Structure 1
């Protein structure tokens, strides 16, 4: 589905069903150098089980037009504008990695718009090493290779994919390369710099009052669970779920992520799938 947001096209995948703003809405927000497709299983399931789904392509990513935003606050403003364009008063926000910071900041800016908050593969501060930032600026393909290795656990790199005939690490690498071809303007560096520069996470977390879920990968080297204590302490009412995966939870453990998210918004999975 294409919406006009801040004067340009914004693409939202709706899970294979026409979007109905009268249904409870779930918004899925991808991370750096990704697009809506990282949520393939989760979005389709929600869309076919009573929810309106908006899996966004952030500006400059995938099918969304316009320059990539350079800061998390600007991305949060854009996300709230997507809700306006879609006619959605309130939604659950599910964000992965950089997308988790966007979801957190959007909840800070407009808490009345957020019914549930799920922060997946998150941490704060989300600092990026100087070496990786410089590699992303000068040699994006090498940065893609580096992050692709670090984002997946050894299990994912050496074991068969949950989807027959599909390589978890190979698919992730090809997606990042495709995003790079769509937008060659140092997109990875722009995304990393936005994560690195975000400074409002602690205040935003302390302001959260809605039901919140933290979903962590036990083998995550990009945002390791041990680095998340500031956020989990600030949102003390949050539920914490850990799955056996690296940073790319949605592809390594798609069913576990789906179960955690679907249970979180209050719908039983009994008799499903």
Structure 2
């Protein structure tokens, strides 16, 4: 569906069902350079199991208008504005990579709007190497190659897709290649500059689940565990052998971890 968020036309996927603000809401926030298609499987499951789903393309991404937002704080405030635009009082925020930082910062800045957090492929700091930043700034295809190679785990690079005939590496590259000029650089710069995670975590009281890849080269599991230690009400799930792109590498295990959190939170 289309929503006007802060006056900008925004595309929001709803998992194949019309968004119903009377249902428990789930907001799925994608990572740097990606869009709502990241959540194709998981958004559909939630939408068909009693949730209202909002999986937005962030400004400047996918089918949304506007320019990419320059900081995690701006993206967090935008997420609160998205909930207002959808007529939603509060939501469970699920974020991957950059999206996890947005979710965390939203919970700290707008606590009344967040009922729970799921932080996937996350870390307290997401330092981006200078070579990747330089390539992204130049809109060089090397940036897409670096994100694809470092983002996927070893098994995924060998062709471990659960969907026959699909290659996860190529799929990630195609989405990143569709980024508008400057968007990937803006996202990576925002992640690189964000230093408020531990302070934000200390302020968050809602239940939080961190879902980490054992072989994640972009946000190593040890860094995710350090963030978990700063969250007062958290649990950690580590998916054995997985890399950073958990939605495609381990969709079933990721969904199981999210379902466990849903059951625990509603109990």
Same fold (TM over 0.5): yes
> Which residue, out of 246, 249, 253, partners 1:252?
249
Stretches of structure 1 that go unaligned for 5 or more consecutive residues are 269-273
| Whole-angstrom distance in 1 between the partners of 2:35 and 2:50 | 23
> Which residue, out of 216, 223, 232, partners 2:219?
223
**Structure-1 residue corresponding to 2:5:** 5
| Whole-angstrom distance in 2 between the partners of 1:172 and 1:130 | 21
How many residues align? The count is 264
Stretches of structure 2 that go unaligned for 5 or more consecutive residues are none
Superposed structure 1 runs of 4+ greater than 2 Å apart? none
In the TM superposition, residue 237 of structure 1 has moved relative to its aligned partner by 2.5
| Whole-angstrom distance in 2 between the partners of 1:227 and 1:117 | 17
In the TM superposition, residue 188 of structure 1 has moved relative to its aligned partner by 1.0
> Which residue, out of 186, 189, 204, partners 2:185?
189
Query: In the alignment, is the contact (CA less than 8 A) between 1:3 and 1:9 conserved in 2?
Result: yes
Query: In the alignment, is the contact (CA less than 8 A) between 1:202 and 1:230 conserved in 2?
Result: no
**Structure-2 residue corresponding to 1:84:** 84
Matched, 1:163 2:160: no
> RMSD over aligned Cα, in angstroms?
1.3
> Which residue, out of 250, 260, 265, partners 2:262?
265
In the TM superposition, residue 141 of structure 1 has moved relative to its aligned partner by 1.3
**Structure-1 residue corresponding to 2:96:** 96
TM-score normalised by L of structure 2? 0.96
| Whole-angstrom distance in 1 between the partners of 2:87 and 2:140 | 37
TM-score normalised by L of structure 1? 0.94
Q: Secondary structure at the match of 1:220?
A: coil
